[in-house]
Homo-oligomer: A and B are copies of this chain.
Amino acid sequence: MARTVKGGSDARRERWKGHREARRAEFVEATIRAVAKHGPDVGMDEIALEAGVSKPVLYRHFADKSDLYLAVGRRGTDMLMDRLGPAIEQDGPIRDRIRGIVDAYLRVIEENPNLYRFVVRGSFTDRPVEQDVVTEDKALIAATLARLLGDYLRAFDMDSGGAEPWAHALVGMVQNAGDWWLDRQSMSRQSLSEYLATIIWHAIDGLLRSADVHVDPDQPLPGGLFTEPTLRLINSEEA
């Protein structure tokens, strides 16, 4: 009986699993190259050409344009998180760590300005909001920061209601300052990191002071705070 089709684990079906992934990655790379060449408004034809295939091949691997762009975005996410993760987990004086995190972010966008602009500015009109990589990333980072801040505040018996808005505020702050800097690089990356770290530190310090907690910015934090597992990037469950 030809019952092989239904449900059976035909090896022919599995055979390609890895390959498909590799191919997608290959097309994502091609897209990035195409964007570098033709600017952010590349067409699918040009991307296909750059990849050395014709359009339908592309469409076998990506449902549509946004799907491809989404993959490009995720690729950017990976690059970002690979840098941000370690920067967040690093120990040392709190002031330096803030600067380290900010600087890690700025380094990523400095090294990939085209990709960055493409992913951020190109954010797809047609996809539902939850499928927007930039929104996703910001939400992920903000959630991590919110948890961090919240724990921090609660450890000092302070109201932690502000943790979430503050986290989003911090994310927006760094992003927007980064955008501005990327467009007209009128100061060194180090200076900007320093300036941003300064203002962030003052904000945090101010919150603590208002509860009469005094922290030395140049000393590592006591009691394992800021180095707990919660500080790692919270895993978002994705399909």
Contact = CB atoms under 8 A, between A and B. Distances in A.
Q: Copies of this chain, how many?
A: 2
Interface residues on A, range: 35 or more
A4 B204 CA distance: 70
Interface stretch (A43-51, A53-61, A117-125): A117-125
Interface stretch (A21-29, A79-87, A173-181, A227-235): A173-181
B169 A199 contact: yes
Interface in A167-216: 168-177, 179-181, 183, 186-187, 191-192, 195-196, 198-207, 209-210
A216 to B, nearest CB: 14
Given A162-B199, A166-B195, A202-B209, 9 more contacts: A161-B187, A165-B177, A165-B192, A168-B181, A169-B174, A171-B176, A202-B202, A202-B205, A203-B206
Interface of A: 40-41, 121-123, 125-126, 129, 138, 142, 161-162, 164-166, 168-177, 179-181, 183, 186-187, 191-192, 195-196, 198-207, 209-210
